[in-house]
Amino acid sequence: MKSIGQLLVILVLLAITACQSTQLRFPAAPIGPNEKSLGQMEATSTGIMLFGFIPINQNTRFENALREAAQKAGGTRLTDVTISEQWFWAVVLDGFIFKVQGTAVGPK
């Protein structure tokens, strides 16, 4: 009975294990003469691989996070972009959380 409990604890720990990438900074075009800085913004978007082969929001999570971060401030794009990603595993799915941070830029 004790070994079953230990096995269950190990399985639960493996099921909720997560990893995170290091941050990566992308070079971006500087703020133009007809643009203004709207401040630091960040957004996340999650994609899931159900049963290891059914993608849910996997292909659009990058674009969704970038668009959401720029739109939060009423901007059109981000500059000084930094991204990171966090992964998690569960019994029937793998999850990927994409996080983007940057300076929102909009028209003057």
pLDDT tens column, 38-86: 999 999 999 999 998 899 999 899 999 999 998 898 998 899 899 999 9
Over the stretch 77-87, which tens digit does the pLDDT of each residue have? Answer: 899 899 999 98
Residue 101 CB partners (closer than 8 Å, separation 6+): 40, 41, 42, 69, 81, 82, 83
